[in-house]
Structure 1
């Protein structure tokens, strides 16, 4: 009975004709859109509502959102059309097959090999730029052939299985195979390094390999040896013209060098890492010049491979990056990676922090792989810079700021095991502080290694942790005071209470203030603020920097006091005296830099205030906010901070606008501040790397200070131009000028936005 039923169903299926146009189930998905339906019903009246819809849309304010509460996610997904080529990776054109019918047995010209290799290099750099493998390297049919199925030896990587051995494999095909093997293994090293460090998936880099192994089963030495053997075979071959032969040889040696470099780069102790990157960069000029010999082979790349990689996502086009952009990106990668290795040369904690900040501020910013290499060199295996402990870095930082030649940092305290001994108690509490501060200090370094937007966003969270660290350190300072027998400063002119140094909490407060400044300064770089907010944000910047300046003066007072006492004590060795000298020198340098910074910020704040008064900077319409609400949003990162106290909005507005001062008085004040800041930056430019605490990055630091100096000079010119226009216009007249504010990256320095004055008739 069941058998007869099956026969009937089979017969019905056999009678179906899928080529019958009248019964074609896919006829409705033709490229031509169907005609509009003709509604014929007495209850339906059709009308053209285009004009009414456009008129209704014009009534909406900018930023206003109209949403149907009943149009849910279910309806949104249901609105997607199956068999739409934009959404359905399985949709086929008429006559199209599911997979590519590519003939891997066909012979390839040497020029075609060059073209394929150069295209693979473009895809490799596109992957470094942040595009996924599915849209770059994995679109190559030759790469797909190598990876599917997963090979475990070189003998399993033939494109055409009929070759069976290298004897029957053409030399051109072998060259391509060797290059592809080296490329995949290089990507494997890079992918593993990025995944091992802190980065942001899809935002910085895409490490997803779509469940494919990047030749993890084949040893590095086997692939490297295969590349070298192929290079030797090419050298003795007479079947290739000299120019093309030289181009192929360069590409094989480049790939071998790239593979060797990324393998060596994972080591944090090798002294030859920088030389490897420089050697790799030396291949680029000839790679560029010889690319003209290449012949494109577009059919060796296909978007259809995505169907085997991830069938649940919409099809995405192949990323096309020009050869010029690819070579530029590769050149920057080699240059940045060679510089990143310099971080292993440790001088002092301040130079380390300066190096990381300036390195991450390079334009354009180093690629994700280089940034993860930098993290690896700093934090690998919880060993700082390859051979130093976090305690070494922390103690060095404390000694250079608040605890020069102090008994709290004496390592002999660790050997005291008697519980009631004061040195034992000091060692216990200092270890408690180090355990608490190490995480915050490492997070600060790790945060600076991210992309620019993430640095600012992460700093908004880390300052809360440093604020808590400051409170915890303050309690430890009180406890340690009983063991160090610290004598307070008694000065009735300053305070009626005894003044103690509070070294640990002072150190935490110093770094918290620095991070708060960076948050505000990076807001200018990232164009977070509107033009009418610049006056307020530059005032708040000078408020933070001035607070740090006063805090540095307090620290300096205690350091100088200890320095004077040590010089009078003949038992203090000369090397300990040098610790005081270094600490005072660093405080003096930081105070000089802070004075120039807050002077410049004060100048710009006053300048933008005058421009707002003159209506040269206008506020855009904001129907859904006011100045008070916007100020709360800008200050949101600082709302939970105890010190420094947040300035109330009314007080801030009165301080910025200064209604009792005239425009000319404000411009005069701005000019004086700019002149003072200019002198400060000029002094800074004359400092040596040691005096500026930027050993290892002095050139970058000097360029940064010179950029600040140029911006300061341009500010003085702008102030003079505005002042002249105001004087000509008179008290009630409108100055005949307009203001142009350059976008980020177009000025002298991204942190200093200087307006440009343009005369108008």
Structure 2
């Protein structure tokens, strides 16, 4: 075989036909040297006289019905070709070679058919069906629709239905022209009218789902296929027209069920049509984004009746065909139909409806609770199973199409660094400016500075809006987007220093850099999220856990330091004389919020510090082994791991500091002292910091503070459960510490074994607590 991969002659086959000659025998029209002047008894020209392409045309023109059998020539020529080698010469280029490989390959040839198989399935959608068959088709449509919601393309799901294909076979703007056959829809039997109405609602629902996802304020939804294959999903038709058709069908079915011999089956069909109507009514439109929670609640109640009498339904396999895909794209063979089982499809349906109902609660958040809005969005993304793309699109649409982010930012600044709030009143920012800035009143000067900051912060490139966009994504994409938010907030912090200098001359305060301090706190919060999501998604290797928990502890301690300074500033403002009652109330709210945030961040720092010490000690004991990188350097590996959050001097440790913190006893191979002798000291230190963490967590959920202080009262159940899970993780770590103390203290670690829990098997996904057994 030649290295080039093309056909060649084997040196041991000297008696075989040469490959080049064999190929030329198959290229009669392209080889002018071929002699085909005479024919044998089968009508095949012999190879004696030269035949040009024009002469070959004349020969074929003599008898248009002549059939030339080239089987023997083909077989003798192909017998000379080695198996597994591509053939290529001047008359048979590489493109034709690859094309020949695809011929009759069911995975490559779109026209490959089995013996006796038809190119297209013939199915008459206007044929009358029995009630249980209509019920079966409806349930089959639900199963492929839920597969589409999970990310599979339309070509393998909804568009494989003959009923859907008939309705979308031609473009039309008139609803009465969307039909199964040439007959008028009202002339169909009542059950087929019900099936048509069900299909119309399904198609329109898919159209509204696509529009909602495409309206989302981010580049692309990676969990969803938006390809339409040049089909129009009834986009020009108003959904209210379809709802009118469904109302008429529901009324007729109500009459028909009383005279039917299969009343239970017809009632099940009626329930499904009614559910489709409710679902279509709840779908958000661009001009009607504020779909109420009660509307989705009605849909959720309908889902529990949707599975009625599914056991009596009879599937109609012929109603679906993968061959319909040939109408959608002709360059690829049909792919298998993706169809969930009915129970799984119902679970997905209930999940979508519940998540959409939950997303409407975002409208209850006022602009004064931005941190509460973040808590709600975290609780929404942490739902299990995770919300699907349509549910997340509903959430982002309600947030970005109704949200006034500049007003939200003003109130957020009030809760953080401007507890009096007078300077942030929107009325001040809209006041007419005097001719000279020096002559402007104090309040207008302050308001103008704040306005410049809020306008800059809510610009597209400053990260504040992108933070909320990221929170609308799935958790994996959230972790990838937040580092971009970090870089943008860093740029915003640099721009805020000038405005801080102006405000310092206007507002006498113990905290000089109000705006830049707020921006820095946002950066530290986002950096904390990035690292914690890395633990949740099992991004870090086992030998990297110690270093990443040290980094998390470092960030949280810096965060606590700045929060403490803001809290002191707020307390001093609260103790000022001459405050109005509402100002004192705002100072009290801000103080409790900052206290709750300090407790949470400090507890996080304690737990991270404890896990850093545990994993570092386990590495010295030889229970955790670092993966070798023969061509890697420690400083470059450090830079690669920290690249997403290293920007900014306050966030980024240098490599020497990181290396010293993660190697307190020198190299793991040759420590400066016996690590077993340090076990008691390590266990004592970890026990102390974990007890401090538990104390802070428990104080968070006390009656004095609780979810209300953290602005998480709307998601109190989720917030309380999250804190309790973190306390449980602390208890697990204390148990592991006791095992290590009893097994290793001053002795060999041979009797100690370790197992690292995978995601889903942890008390809290952010705390990877090792399971130690003796």
**Bin for the TM-score computed over the shorter chain:** 0.7 to 0.9
Give 1:654-693 correspondences, 5 Å limit. 654-659=660-665, 662-686=678-702, 687-693=705-711
1:512 aligns with 2:518: no
Aligned to 2:450: 430
Residues 1:619 and 1:266: Cα distance change in structure 2 (over 3 Å): farther
Aligned to 1:279: 298
1:628-651, Cα deviation, whole Å (9 max, x unpaired): 33221111012322323x222232
1:222-244, Cα deviation, whole Å (9 max, x unpaired): 21111121122222222341221
Task: Tell me the TM-score normalized by structure 1.
Answer: 0.85
C-alpha separation between the residues in 1 aligned to 2:79 and 2:271?
59
Task: Tell me the TM-score normalized by structure 2.
Answer: 0.84
Residues 1:23 and 1:407: Cα distance change in structure 2 (over 3 Å): farther
Aligned to 1:164: 184
Contact 2:756–2:768, Cα closer than 8 Å, also in 1: yes
C-alpha separation between the residues in 2 aligned to 1:333 and 1:486?
52
Aligned to 2:730: 712
Contact 2:201–2:242, Cα closer than 8 Å, also in 1: yes
C-alpha separation between the residues in 2 aligned to 1:504 and 1:76?
67
Give 1:362-761 correspondences, 5 Å limit. 362-380=383-401, 383-384=402-403, 389-406=404-421, 408-410=423-425, 411-412=427-428, 414-418=430-434, 419-420=436-437, 421-423=440-442, 424-439=444-459, 440-482=463-505, 484-486=506-508, 500-565=511-576, 568-569=577-578, 572-644=579-651, 646-659=652-665, 662-686=678-702, 687-727=705-745, 730-731=746-747, 733-759=748-774
Residues 1:510 and 1:38: Cα distance change in structure 2 (over 3 Å): closer
Residues 1:756 and 1:106: Cα distance change in structure 2 (over 3 Å): same
Contact 2:158–2:164, Cα closer than 8 Å, also in 1: yes
Question: 1:756: Cα distance to partner?
Answer: 1.1
Question: 1:11: Cα distance to partner?
Answer: 5.4
C-alpha separation between the residues in 2 aligned to 1:12 and 1:600?
91
Segments of structure 1 that go 5 or more residues without pairing to the other structure are: 29-33, 45-72, 490-499
1:671-709, Cα deviation, whole Å (9 max, x unpaired): 111111112222223343322210311111111111111
Contact 2:464–2:485, Cα closer than 8 Å, also in 1: no
Question: 1:344: Cα distance to partner?
Answer: 0.5
1:103 aligns with 2:121: no
1:154 aligns with 2:175: yes
1:542-571, Cα deviation, whole Å (9 max, x unpaired): 100011000111112222222222xx22xx
Structure with higher RCO (Cα < 8 A, 6+ apart): 1
C-alpha separation between the residues in 1 aligned to 2:546 and 2:629?
18
Aligned to 2:108: 87
Question: 1:415: Cα distance to partner?
Answer: 1.4
C-alpha separation between the residues in 2 aligned to 1:182 and 1:399?
47
1:186 aligns with 2:199: no
Segments of structure 2 that go 5 or more residues without pairing to the other structure are: 1-53, 86-93, 666-672
Contact 2:547–2:612, Cα closer than 8 Å, also in 1: yes
Residues 1:486 and 1:243: Cα distance change in structure 2 (over 3 Å): same
Size of the alignment, in residue pairs?
A: 687
Contact 1:266–1:373, Cα closer than 8 Å, also in 2: no
Equivalent position SS for 2:283? helix
Residues 1:643 and 1:119: Cα distance change in structure 2 (over 3 Å): same
Residues 1:605 and 1:11: Cα distance change in structure 2 (over 3 Å): farther
Equivalent position SS for 1:553? helix
Residues 1:202 and 1:546: Cα distance change in structure 2 (over 3 Å): closer
C-alpha separation between the residues in 2 aligned to 1:76 and 1:556?
75
C-alpha separation between the residues in 1 aligned to 2:397 and 2:629?
46
Contact 1:707–1:748, Cα closer than 8 Å, also in 2: yes
Aligned to 1:349: 370
Aligned to 1:290: 309
1:24-61, Cα deviation, whole Å (9 max, x unpaired): 99x99xxxxx999669xxxx9xxxxxxxxxxxxxxxxx
Residues 1:316 and 1:221: Cα distance change in structure 2 (over 3 Å): same
Contact 1:175–1:252, Cα closer than 8 Å, also in 2: yes
Residues 1:100 and 1:552: Cα distance change in structure 2 (over 3 Å): same
C-alpha separation between the residues in 2 aligned to 1:678 and 1:13?
93
Aligned to 1:132: 153
1:288-313, Cα deviation, whole Å (9 max, x unpaired): 24211111111111111111112234
Aligned to 1:121: 142
Equivalent position SS for 1:757? strand
C-alpha separation between the residues in 1 aligned to 2:145 and 2:379?
27
Contact 1:258–1:280, Cα closer than 8 Å, also in 2: yes
Residues 1:757 and 1:562: Cα distance change in structure 2 (over 3 Å): same
Question: 1:592: Cα distance to partner?
Answer: 0.7
Residues 1:517 and 1:313: Cα distance change in structure 2 (over 3 Å): farther
Larger radius of gyration: 2
Equivalent position SS for 1:166? helix
C-alpha separation between the residues in 2 aligned to 1:471 and 1:199?
26
Question: 1:175: Cα distance to partner?
Answer: 1.7
Equivalent position SS for 2:307? helix
Bigger Cα displacement from structure 2, 5-14 vs 112-121: 5-14
C-alpha separation between the residues in 2 aligned to 1:78 and 1:578?
77
